[in-house]
Structure 1
Amino acid sequence: MIIPLHQDGSGSRRLPPVVWLVAWVVGVPALLGGLGAWEVERGLASAESYTRRQVELPVSVVQLRLLAATDPYASVRFEGGRTAYGAALAADKAQEALAVVTRDLPLARARTWVPYATLGGALLALLAGLVALAGGGAAGLWARRSRDALLASFGLVRRVLPVLLGLQIVGLSLAVLAAALFEATGLWFTQRFSAGEAKLLLGALVIAALAAWAAVAAVRGLRGVFALFTPEPIDVRGRVLDEADAPGLWRLVRELAGRGDALVPDAVVVGLTGGFFVTESAVRLSPDTRTLTGRTLYLPAPYLGVLDGRELSAVIGHELAHFAGEDTAYSRRFTPIYAGLHRALTALGNVGPGDLLTRPAAYVGYRSLGTFDAAVARWSRAREFEADRRGAQVSGAPPAASALLRVGVLGPVVGETLASSYGKPDAAPDDLVAGVLDAIPAAGFPEPGAHLDDRQAHPTDTHPSDRQRIAALGVPLDAELFARAARPLTVGDRAWPVALVADWTGLCRWLSVDFLTGAREHRAAERVYLEETAAAVPVEETLVHENGAPMVWTMGVLALLFAGAGAALLLYPRALGVAHDALAQQILGAAAAAGVAWAGIYAGLVHRRGRTPLLVLTPDVLRSPLLDSAVAWKDVADFQVTHGKRLTLTLALTPDATLPRTKRLFSQAGVSRRRRHVCVQSLGARGLKPDAFAALVGRYLAASRARVHLSAAHTGI
C-alpha cells in the first residue's frame, strides 16, 4: 500500500483539536447566521423597494402620459438612468416596469422569509452542538461516581446524542440550502438578464441542489449509523469443547464458578492465539464459521501446559468473576456498545456527499464520547482489580500473581513460535503447542521482572499493567515471586492439560492444522495478489511526456496579442495618441516585438521539452533526462504527487540509497540531500490527469515491492 509522504516539522504547528472543535461547532453556524442576517436585511430592502415602486410607478405613468400630451418633444431620464427618453417612450418604459414589478413582487415578498430558515438552521445547529457538548461533559463527570452512574449516564447519552447530532446536521443542511436558494433567486431580479447571469443562476441552483442532496445523504447516513446498534461478533480461531470433550475442564470451571458466585459460561473455546478472556458478545468461530451467543470463556492452549493447577484456577477464576454481580451487566450493556459507537462515529464522517455537513457532528460526537474515557478507564481498572481479588480467593494471592508474570514471560515465546510457523507453515511442527513448550528454555524464563509493565491482551477491553495488578493483590515483588514465575517447565506441567481434556494431543493437533491451513491459505492469497501486482506494469518502457500543449497555445495567443498591438501601433498611431511622439512609438513597438519574441521563444522551448520524455518508467528503475542517474524503485520509500500551477512528483528515498544529481543548475528537477527527496516538476503529464499519473507511479512502486516479496519467498529469505 502506497501512502502519501508524511509531513515534516510543520505538522507540529497544527492547531489543537479544541480549536477545530470550536471552529466547526461554533464558527460554522455563526458564519451561516451572519450570512442569514445579511440576507434578511437585503431581502427586506428588496421587498420594500418593489412595494414602493408598485405605488410610485402608476403615478409616474400618468404624469408621463400628460407630459407627452402637452410637450411631445420633452425628454426625461427614467428612474435615474443615464439615457434620456422622450416623454411617450418613458411612459411606455414605466408601464413595462410596472408590469415587471407586479409580476416579481410576490416572489420578492416570499423571498424575505428564506433567510429566516438560514438563521433558524444555524441557530438549531449551534444549540444542538453546544447542548451535546455540555450534556456529554456533564454525563462524563457523573459517570465517574459509580459503575451504575456510568451505565445510566451512558444509556442516556446513547439515546439523546443521535437526536442532537441529527438536529445539528439538519440545521446545517437547512441553513446551507436556504442560503443557496436566496442567492440563486436573487439573480432573478437582475434588470438586464444576460447569458452570463443566466449561467450564474444555473450555477446557484446547482449549488442549492447539491446542498439538498448533501443534507439528505447526511441525515440518511446518520439514521443508518445510529440505528439500533448490534455489536459485531468477535472473530476467534478455535474449537468449542463440550463436557464430553473436556470433562475435567468443565468440572473445574463449574467448581470455580460456584466458589466465586459467578454464572457458568455457555461455551468454552480453546485456541492457539490471544490470551484468556470471557465475553457476552457474539463470537464467530473459524474455520467452521459457527457463531456463538451467550457467555463464552476462551482459553489459549499454549498457556495451559505452563500454569500449574492453582495458577490456572486463579486465571479462570478471574475471568469468571466478570460473569458475577454487576460486572455481567457491564459486560453485556456497556463494553460492546461503547466500542460500537466509536465505530459509528467513524462511519459518520464518511457518509459520502454529506461529509462536510456531518463533520461538525462527528467532532461533537467524539468529544461527547471522549468525556467517558476517564470514567471507562477508572471502572475498567476497578473491575479488573475486583476480578483479580475474586480469582485470588479460590487459589491464593501468590499463585494469582505468579500466573500474571508467567503468562507475560510466555507471550514472546508463543508469538515467535506461531509467527515462524505462520511464515513457513510447511516447515512447522504438527503440534504447535508442543513446539511452544519445547521452545521454553530448560533453565526457565529469564528476567520475569522485565514484564511487569505488560498488559494482558483482550479483544474488547483494556487491563492495568501487571505491576499494578500484583500490587493490588498485596504480593511483594520479591525473589520468591520471580523464581516461581520463572521456574523451569516440568513433566507434570506438560501433563496437567491431559487431566482436563479427554484427547489433549488430538486437540492440539487439530488446532495446529486449523492454524497452518489458515497460514497456507493466506500465503496462497498473498502470492496471487503479489503476482497480479507485479504483472500490473509492462515489461517495456513507459514514456511520460510533459503536457506543454496548453502553454504553447497560451503563448501563441499572447504572441498574437503582442503582434496585434504592434500592428495597431503602426497602422493607427493617431487613434492611439502617439502619432507625433516618435520615442513613444519606438518604445511601444520594441515592447510589442519583445513580447512576440518572448512568447515565441518560450513556446518553442516548451514544445521542444515535450518532444523528450520527462520520465521513463521501467519495472526496475525510473529515469529522467533531468537527472544524471536512474532511481531504482527498490530505493523509493514513499512518493507524493501534488498539482496546482505545476505537477510535482516527489520521491522519498531510503537512507542507504544513492541520490542522483540534477544535470543543470536551473532545472525542473530538485534533490534535497537533507530530506533525501527527489522532485520532478512539469506543466503536467500528457494524456494523464494528476490522479492517473499518481496511480501510474504507485503501480510501478507496488510492482517493485511485490517482486521483492516474491523473490524473498522463492529464495526462502
Structure 2
Amino acid sequence: MIVPLHDDRRNKRRLPPVVWLIAWVVGVPALLGGLGAWEVERGQATAENVTRRQVELPVSVVQLRLLAATDPYASVRFEGARTAYGAALAVDRAQEALAAVTRDLPLARARAWMPSATLGGALLALLAGLVALGGAAAAGLWARRSRDALLASFGLVRRALPVLLGLQIVGLSLAVLAAALFEATGLWFTQRFSAGEAKLLLAALVIAALAAWAAVAAVRGLRGVFALFTPEPIDVRGRALDEAEAPGLWRLVRELAGRGDALAPDAVVVGLTGGFFVTEGAVRLGSNGQTLTGRTLYLPVPYLGVLDGRELSAVIGHELAHFAGEDTAYSRRFTPIYAGLHRALAALGNAGPGDLLTRPAAYVGHRSLGTFDAAVARWSRAREFEADRRGALVSGAPPAASALLRVGVLGPVVGETLGSAFDEPDAAPDDLVAGVLDAIPATGFPDPGSHLDDRQAHPTDTHPPDRQRIAALGVPLDAELFARAARPLTEADRAWPAALVADWAGLCRGLSADFLTGAREHRAAERTYLEEAAAAVPVEETLVHENGSPMVWTMGVLALLFAGAGAALLLYPRALGIAQDALAQQILVGVAAAGVAWAGIYAARVHRRGRIPLLVLTPDALRSPLLDGAVVWQDVADFQVTHGKRLTLTLALAPEATLPRAKRLVSQARVSRRRRQVSVQSLGARGLKPDAFAALIGRYLAASRARVHLSATSTGI
C-alpha cells in the first residue's frame, strides 16, 4: 500500500462539501444526459443511413446488372470509394453491401434506442437525488416541531431513502452502460472496418462489460450496505445481576421506576468502565458473550461508592425517565436505527467495484441524514433536561446537581486507575473498585467547578454540558454545591453499596478479574502482532536495485534508429534529396552519430547504475550509495512512494533526527532540510511494482516501530 505523507496544505485546498454534492448529484447526471443527447442525433443518423441504403442498394444491383450486360468493361466507382470496379465486379460488391446492410439494420435500429436509455438513466439519477435531498430537507424541518414529528419524519426518510438511493444508482448504471454500448457498437458501422477498429470494438465491449459488472456490484453493494440498518448490539464488559444477587439494588430500581411513572428495566448490568445509561437495544456482555434484549440499565460500580443514597437515586431516576412516556419509543425506535443509518452510509461510499456509481448516492445519503442532525441535537438536549427534572423529583435538585459534578470529578480518577491496571495487569490489585476509592484524596475532590463543561459518557447518545444541566435544575453554582460535590469520602460511603448487592466485595473482585483478563488478552494479542511485525523483515540485508532494463532496451532501439538514419543518409543521399549538399549530409550524419553515441552512453550509465544497489535495507536503517549516511528507521516519521516517469521514495524525518547529505550536487537523491525530507528517485525497483515497493518500505518501518514497542515493555524480541 502506498502511504501518503501528511500535507496540511492539501486539506486547505479541499473543496466545500456542497460543491462535491452538486458535482456528483447534478453534474454527473447532466454530463451523461448531454452525452445521451449527442448520441441521439448520431444514432438516428446511422439508422437512417442504413435504412436508406437498404432501399437504394436493390435498385443499384439491378442497374449494375443491366450495365454489366450491356457494357461489361464499364468502370464503376461507388460513392465515397477511391477504387473503381468493372461492372461485373461492381455487381458482386453491391450484393455484398446489400447483405451487410440487411445484417446491420437490426443493430442500427437497436442502437438508435440506446441514447434514450442513457437519457432516461441520467434523468432518473438526477430526479432521485434531488427528490431525496428535497424530501430529507423538508423532513428535517418538520422534525424540529416535536419529538413525535422527528420519529414520524425519520420513519418516512428511513423507508424512502434506500429506494431513492437505489433508483439513483440504477439510473447512473443504466446511463453508463447504455452510453458504453452505444459507443462500442458505433465502431461496427465504420466504413473501413480494419483490424484496428476491431480492436477498438473489443476494447469498447470490454468497457461496457465492466460497466455492467460495476452496475450489478453497485446495486448488490447497496442491498448489503443497507442491511446495516439492523441495530448492532452494544458491547459492554460487565455482568448482569438478578434479584438474588442484588436484592437491594432491584428494590431501589423498582421503587424509583414506580415513583417516576417509568417502566422498570428487564436487566441491570454493572461494570467498571463507562457511565450510567439505559438502552432498549440489544446488549452483548463481554464477560460471557450473553446478549440481553429489552430494557437494560447499566451502572458503573466505581461510582456507587462515592454517591450517597439521594445522589444515586437522582442518577438512576434520570436514566429510568428514558423509559417513561414518549422517551421509551424514542430510545427504542430512533436512536439505534439512526446510528445504524450512519454506519450504512459510511459503508456506502466504499461499496467495492461499483464505488464510482455509489458515490453520488453516498453524498445524497449523508446530506439527507445531516438534515436531521439539528433536530436530533435539539430533542436529545430536551429529553436529557426532562430526564434530569424527573430524576430530581425523587431526590431533590441539589443532590441531582451534586451527583453530576461528583461523577465528573471522579472520572479522571477512574480513568487513571483503570488505565494503569490495563497497562500493567499483573501489578494491579485484585479489587480495582477499592483501588479507585483509595486513589481519591483524603481531603476530597479538587475544584469541581473545573468540570462544569464536562459531558456524561453514553454509548449511543450525547448529553448537554453539566453547566447547562445544573442551570436547568435551578441550582446555583455556589460554594455550597461545590463543597457538597467535593466532600471527602467516608467509610459509610464505601460500605453502603453492600446494602444493594449481596456479595459486594465478590462482585468487585469478579469485575476486576474480568477487566484484568481482558487486559492480558489484549496485551498478548498486541505482543503477537508486534512480534509478527518485527519478524516480517529478514535479519540480513535486502538489496533493492534500480530497474534500468526497460530504459536500456529503449536506448538500444533509439541507437538502432539513429544508426539506420545515418546509414540511409550515407547510402541513399540522392533519394533523400541531399546528394548535392555535402555539408548538410555531413551535419545530418554527425547528428545521427551523436544520437547513437548518446543513446549508448546513457544505456551504459543506466546499466552500470543497476549493478549497484539503489537501497540497502536492514532492520535498523536504510542506506544508499547516493547518501553519505544511513537513515535510521526510528527517525522516520512518515513515508511516501510516488510513481510516474520515475519511482520516488520520500522519507519524512523526525525533528530531532540527523539528516544525511546527498553525495553529489546533481543526483537521484534530494535532501530538504527545511521540510526534513529525504527523497530517492529511480527508474523503478527491479522485480517490484510500485505497490510492492511501498509495502516493502512499510514492512521495515513497521518492524522498527514494533521493536521499539517491545523494547519499551521490556519484553525483547
TM-score tier by shorter-chain length is: over 0.9
Residues 316-343 of structure 1 show CA distances to partners (whole Å, capped at 9, x for unaligned) of: 1100100000000000000000000111
Does the aligned pair in 1 maintain the 2:2–2:640 contact within 8 Å?
no
Q: Provide the residue aligned with 1:360 in structure 2.
A: 360
Secondary structure of the residue aligned to 2:229 is coil
Q: Using the alignment, how far apart are the partners of 1:525 and 1:91 within structure 2?
A: 83
Give how far 1:250 is off: 1.1
Q: Using the alignment, how far apart are the partners of 1:449 and 1:715 within structure 2?
A: 43
Residues 122-159 of structure 1 show CA distances to partners (whole Å, capped at 9, x for unaligned) of: 11111001100100111011101100000000000000
Q: Provide the residue aligned with 1:338 in structure 2.
A: 338
Report matched runs for 1:168-567 at 5 Å: 168-227=168-227, 229-567=229-567
Q: Using the alignment, how far apart are the partners of 1:283 and 1:590 within structure 2?
A: 84
Does the aligned pair in 1 maintain the 2:247–2:501 contact within 8 Å?
yes
Give how far 1:18 is off: 0.7
Matched, 1:683 2:678: no
Give how far 1:437 is off: 0.6
Paired AA for residue 284 in structure 2: R
Q: Provide the residue aligned with 1:701 in structure 2.
A: 701
Greater Cα offset, 539-548 or 489-498: 489-498
Paired AA for residue 688 in structure 2: L
Paired AA for residue 304 in structure 1: L
Give how far 1:71 is off: 4.1
Secondary structure of the residue aligned to 1:649 is strand
Q: Provide the residue aligned with 1:158 in structure 2.
A: 158
Residues 86-137 of structure 1 show CA distances to partners (whole Å, capped at 9, x for unaligned) of: 3333333223222211221222112111111111111111100110010011
Paired AA for residue 134 in structure 1: G
Q: Using the alignment, how far apart are the partners of 1:694 and 1:2 within structure 2?
A: 5
Secondary structure of the residue aligned to 1:591 is helix
Q: Provide the residue aligned with 1:112 in structure 2.
A: 112
Paired AA for residue 609 in structure 2: R
Change (3 A) 1:528 1:715: closer
Q: Using the alignment, how far apart are the partners of 1:579 and 1:668 within structure 2?
A: 45
Does the aligned pair in 2 maintain the 1:115–1:178 contact within 8 Å?
yes
Segments of 5+ residues of structure 2 without an aligned counterpart are none
Give how far 1:715 is off: 6.6
Give how far 1:540 is off: 0.2
Does the aligned pair in 1 maintain the 2:429–2:435 contact within 8 Å?
yes
TM-score, normalised to structure 2's length? 0.98
Give how far 1:69 is off: 4.1
Q: Provide the residue aligned with 1:94 in structure 2.
A: 94
Give how far 1:559 is off: 0.8
Secondary structure of the residue aligned to 1:639 is strand
Q: Using the alignment, how far apart are the partners of 2:21 and 2:275 within structure 1?
A: 38
Does the aligned pair in 2 maintain the 1:187–1:201 contact within 8 Å?
yes
Change (3 A) 1:208 1:715: closer
Change (3 A) 1:20 1:406: same
Paired AA for residue 230 in structure 1: T
Q: Using the alignment, how far apart are the partners of 2:624 and 2:224 within structure 1?
A: 50
Q: Provide the residue aligned with 1:130 in structure 2.
A: 130
Q: Using the alignment, how far apart are the partners of 2:176 and 2:497 within structure 1?
A: 67
Q: Using the alignment, how far apart are the partners of 2:78 and 2:633 within structure 1?
A: 74
Give how far 1:228 is off: 8.2
Q: Provide the residue aligned with 2:629 in structure 1.
A: 629
Paired AA for residue 387 in structure 1: A
Give how far 1:73 is off: 4.0
Q: Using the alignment, how far apart are the partners of 1:586 and 1:469 within structure 2?
A: 95
Paired AA for residue 591 in structure 1: V
Q: Using the alignment, how far apart are the partners of 2:671 and 2:475 within structure 1?
A: 60
Q: Using the alignment, how far apart are the partners of 1:44 and 1:328 within structure 2?
A: 62
Q: Provide the residue aligned with 1:149 in structure 2.
A: 149
Q: Using the alignment, how far apart are the partners of 2:2 and 2:621 within structure 1?
A: 17
Give how far 1:4 is off: 2.9
Greater Cα offset, 100-109 or 139-148: 100-109
Paired AA for residue 646 in structure 2: R
Paired AA for residue 463 in structure 1: H
Give how far 1:184 is off: 1.4
Q: Provide the residue aligned with 2:611 in structure 1.
A: 611
Q: Using the alignment, how far apart are the partners of 1:294 and 1:475 within structure 2?
A: 35
Paired AA for residue 199 in structure 2: K
Secondary structure of the residue aligned to 1:681 is strand
Q: Using the alignment, how far apart are the partners of 2:315 and 2:700 within structure 1?
A: 51
Residues 225-262 of structure 1 show CA distances to partners (whole Å, capped at 9, x for unaligned) of: 22483210000011111111111111111111111101
Greater Cα offset, 64-73 or 22-31: 64-73
Paired AA for residue 110 in structure 2: A
Change (3 A) 1:485 1:228: closer
Q: Provide the residue aligned with 2:568 in structure 1.
A: 568
Give how far 1:2 is off: 9.4
Greater Cα offset, 381-390 or 178-187: 178-187
Aligned length: 716
Matched, 1:81 2:92: no
Report matched runs for 1:26-65 at 5 Å: 26-65=26-65
Change (3 A) 1:228 1:557: closer
Residues 1-38 of structure 1 show CA distances to partners (whole Å, capped at 9, x for unaligned) of: 99532123132011111111111111111111111111
Paired AA for residue 347 in structure 2: A
Residues 555-575 of structure 1 show CA distances to partners (whole Å, capped at 9, x for unaligned) of: 111111111111111111111
Give how far 1:68 is off: 3.8
Q: Using the alignment, how far apart are the partners of 2:536 and 2:516 within structure 1?
A: 30
Give how far 1:364 is off: 0.5
Secondary structure of the residue aligned to 1:130 is helix
Segments of 5+ residues of structure 1 without an aligned counterpart are none
Q: Using the alignment, how far apart are the partners of 1:589 and 1:3 within structure 2?
A: 49
Q: Using the alignment, how far apart are the partners of 1:634 and 1:352 within structure 2?
A: 36
Give how far 1:484 is off: 1.2
Q: Using the alignment, how far apart are the partners of 1:591 and 1:477 within structure 2?
A: 91
Change (3 A) 1:58 1:715: closer
Does the aligned pair in 2 maintain the 1:272–1:511 contact within 8 Å?
yes
Give how far 1:640 is off: 1.4
Q: Provide the residue aligned with 1:666 in structure 2.
A: 666
Q: Using the alignment, how far apart are the partners of 1:204 and 1:120 within structure 2?
A: 22
Does the aligned pair in 2 maintain the 1:139–1:153 contact within 8 Å?
yes
Greater Cα offset, 336-345 or 347-356: 347-356
Secondary structure of the residue aligned to 1:226 is helix
Change (3 A) 1:306 1:3: farther
Give how far 1:675 is off: 1.9
Give how far 1:75 is off: 2.5
Does the aligned pair in 1 maintain the 2:228–2:344 contact within 8 Å?
no
Secondary structure of the residue aligned to 2:642 is strand
Q: Provide the residue aligned with 1:713 in structure 2.
A: 713
Give how far 1:72 is off: 4.1
Paired AA for residue 177 in structure 1: L
Residues 620-673 of structure 1 show CA distances to partners (whole Å, capped at 9, x for unaligned) of: 001111111101111111111111111111111112111111111111111222
Does the aligned pair in 2 maintain the 1:2–1:702 contact within 8 Å?
no
Residues 488-516 of structure 1 show CA distances to partners (whole Å, capped at 9, x for unaligned) of: 11111111211111111111111111111
Q: Using the alignment, how far apart are the partners of 1:584 and 1:450 within structure 2?
A: 90
Paired AA for residue 675 in structure 1: R
Secondary structure of the residue aligned to 2:237 is strand
Q: Using the alignment, how far apart are the partners of 1:658 and 1:291 within structure 2?
A: 55
Does the aligned pair in 2 maintain the 1:121–1:175 contact within 8 Å?
yes
Give how far 1:487 is off: 1.3
